[in-house]
Amino acid sequence: MARNTEDVTSDAKTVRLSAATRRARQRMVDDGGTPSLRGTIIKIILLGIADAAAFFVSMLLVAKHQWTYLAGVVIVTLILNFIYLRRGGLPAKYLSPGVLFLIFFSFSVVVYSAFIAFTNYGGQHNGSKEDSISSVELGAMVTDTNAPWMDVSILEDGNKHFYFLASDNMSEFAADGVTPVPHYYLGGEDFNATTGWHEITGDELSKVSYGAGLMGYDIATGYEGFTTLTIDQVTQEGAKFATLKVPLSAQIDTDGWMALDPSAAGVQRTYYDAKYDAATDSFTRLSDGTVFKADNSQGFFISESGERLNDTGWQTVVGLKNFNTIFGNEKLRAPLLKIFSWTVIFAIASVLSTFILGLALSLLFNDDRLRGKKIYRAIMILPYAFPGFLSAYVWKGMFSFEYGFINFNILGFKPGHGIPWLAEEGAAKWAILLCNLWLGFPYMFLITTGALQAIPAELTESAVIDGASAWQQLRLIKLPLLLVSLTPLLISSFAFNFNNFTIIYLITGGGPSGDPSLGVDVGGTDILISFVYKIAFSSSQGADYGLASAFSILIFFIVGGLSLIGFRRTRFLEEVTE
């Protein structure tokens, strides 16, 4: 009895030692062994380059006060250094680059798009409120048309400060009503007691030098102690002088300033017609006293009557407003249902037509009695090898109404007669399906050919012995086995065609145009993705990225839901086959 116990104990010890050995060996595999000197040097150099790039990006983010992105860069850099500098963790070292790129180029894009769907981001709301305020102030700069236009010479002092030397020949005339009585003014960009805008009178007039002006009158062209800039100098620094302001008083916001006209030959009083009050977060239009308060729900400065101060707003969170627009806008509802139904029809018809044609050709060229099968198969995949966008342009030319190859050569119509393929909605849809059939059947031909060759020959041979016809072999044996292996590819093809923007954009551009009274740019052949493109980039009402992102989320759930149903159907087919 004691002997048996010792044997068991000895066996258990052996098992424990074997398990420990296996764990030790697994740790050695995970550690990756002892790195060589060359490998260590290469790793340090690559990490140094990565850290230097991260440091450079961090400095740029600090300069722009982008603290959130800065924190992300720092955290990611620290994690990468920890992974690659520590011993072991070999799987993490291989997986981290792929995970990092997945987060940056896929996951972050999805998260950002989801966030944009809940904002009003678009052509009129593409910046912050501070940017909008600056835009309003810039647009509120008004030239006083009641003030005299004055000839001007631009002067420079020893401290590189600029001055306007202006000549007013319009405000006062002699008794004959023709001869002007000139008035001369001098002022600098930095307002103070000595350089402020003032009329030159008395002894100061002796410091002025004169010359001929554009209107034929003598104007002030120089002033003692200052350098007069030449026309070439003014032209070279045109951007600087276009924004140069010479204040009329210390209260520049109320009294205004002198500014150059576009020709840089004269100046005229300019002022702000709208003044911003940070305390009330509003603008007051000085010409009529109207107050425009900031409306964060719309991202505009709006008066009590609903008037916008300008069309440059700011980006703000609007909640479910974009989704309410999709489902609640009556003008959008009818065309949206039409677009959705056509999108589903287009995707299903494209998959079925290409699959049926590809399967038929693969069955034809899978016959052992056919000679030259390799040549025929190579010819069949040529449309797939040719760039798709070039094929689309070729088909667009073939669909030309007057001299297109289809109307003129195939159908035999005379020039100017035939089927208006791209001008009528029904014909345009058939044109797109035909073109997509040409582009898509080679792919289906390839995958069905491979799947057919994977079916065991014993199955078809047994069916032939049992007296099954060719149709019965296809329907009862080949097609069920094909669907088990090809359904995931058919689902991916459906998802691709559901978002097949390229073919729609290149062939019809979504046209022919729909009803303009709807207020949205909807074409007869638009699918959801092309409609979203128009909303995002080419809408007649301005780009609306927020609404486009909301549509993108819906498309994601639609395609995801349909794909889920398809994969469940695939499992059902597998169970039936088993």
Give yes or no: residues 535 and 426 share one domain.
yes
Number of domains in the chain: 3
Residue 436 lies in a domain: yes
Cα(532)–Cα(240) distance, integer angstroms: 42
Query: Are 43 and 178 within one domain?
Result: no
Q: Judge contact between 312 and 136, C-beta under 8 A.
A: yes
Tell me how far apart the terminal alpha carbons of the chain are, to the nearest angstrom: 53
* CA dist 546 → 135, 139, 411, 439, 499 (Å): 22, 26, 46, 33, 19
310 within domain boundaries? no
533/422 same-domain check: yes
Residues 472 and 343 reside in one and the same domain? yes
| One domain for residues 496 and 557 | yes
Calpha distance 350→433 (Å, rounded): 6
The answer to the question of residue 233 being in a domain is yes
Which residues are 165's β-sheet partners?
153, 186
pLDDT for residue 62 = 92
Q: Of 224, 244, 272, which marks where a domain is finished?
A: 272
Residue at which a domain ends, from 224, 239, 272: 272
Number of Cα atoms under 13 Å in the Cβ half of residue 247 = 15
Which residues are CB-contacts of 204 (< 8 A; sequence separation ≥ 6)?
186
Cα separation of 494 and 487, whole Å?
10
CA distance 508 to 503: 8
SS3 562: helix
Q: Which of 272, 296, 314 is the last residue of a domain?
A: 272
pLDDT of residue 434: 94
262 located within any domain: yes
DSSP three-state, residue 34:
coil
Three-state SS for 355-423 is HHHHHHHHHHCCCCCCCCHHHHHHHHCHHHHCCHHHHHHHHHHHCCCCCCHHHHHHCCCCCCCCCCCCC
Residue 237 sits in the same domain as residue 379: no
User: Other C-beta atoms within 10 Å of 315: how many?
Assistant: 21
| Domain identity same for 396 and 500 | yes
Q: Specify whether 389 is located in the same domain as 245.
A: no
Q: Residue 235 belongs to what H/E stretch?
A: helix 231-236
DSSP 8-state assignment for residue 140:
T
Phi-psi region of 160 (alpha: psi -120 to 50; beta: other; left: phi over 0): left
Distances, alpha carbon 32 to alpha carbons 29, 35, 85, in Å: 5, 8, 13
Find the domain containing 235 and state its range.
Answer: 141-272
- Backbone phi and psi for residue 17, each to the nearest 5 degrees, phi listed first: -65, -40
Same domain, 251 and 380: no
Contacts of 195 (CB under 8 A, 6+ apart): 161, 163, 187, 188
Say what the pLDDT of residue 183 is: 94
Residue 450 amino acid letter: G
Look-up: residue for tokens 């009402």? 541
Give ∠ CA 392-407-389 in degrees, rounded to 5. 5
Structural element, H or E, at residue 261: none
Tell me the pLDDT of the chain (578 aa) as tens digits.
444 444 444 454 444 556 667 666 666 555 555 667 787 888 889 889 999 999 999 999 999 888 888 998 899 899 888 888 887 777 788 888 888 888 887 888 888 889 999 999 988 888 889 989 988 888 888 899 889 999 999 999 988 889 999 999 888 888 887 888 899 999 998 887 677 899 999 988 999 999 988 777 889 999 999 999 998 888 888 888 888 899 998 888 778 999 998 888 899 999 988 989 999 999 999 888 899 999 988 899 999 999 998 888 999 999 999 999 888 887 777 788 889 999 999 999 999 999 999 999 998 888 777 888 888 888 888 888 888 888 899 999 999 888 889 988 888 888 778 899 998 999 999 999 999 999 999 999 999 998 888 888 888 888 888 888 888 888 888 888 888 888 888 988 999 999 999 999 999 988 887 666 666 678 889 999 998 888 888 655 568 899 889 998 988 888 888 878 877 766 655 554 55
Domain CATH number, residue 390: 1.10.3720.10
Are residue 112 and residue 148 in the same domain, yes or no? Answer: no
Does 554 share its domain with 426?
Answer: yes
Q: Measuring CA to CA, which residue among 161, 165, 156, 151 is closest to residue 205?
A: 165
Domain membership of residue 318 (yes or no) is: no
Contact partners, residue 101, CB within 8 Å, separation at least 6: none
Does residue 316 form part of some domain? Answer: no
Looking up tokens 């505009």 gives: 300
Residue 8 lies in a domain: no
Q: 521 with 432, same domain?
A: yes
Query: What pLDDT is stored for residue 240 in this prediction?
Result: 86
Residue 482: name the closest of 359, 361, 357 by CA: 359
Single-letter code of the amino acid located at 332: L
In a domain, 82, yes or no: yes
Which amino acid, residue 440?
Answer: G
**C-beta atoms surrounding 396 within 10 Å:** 18
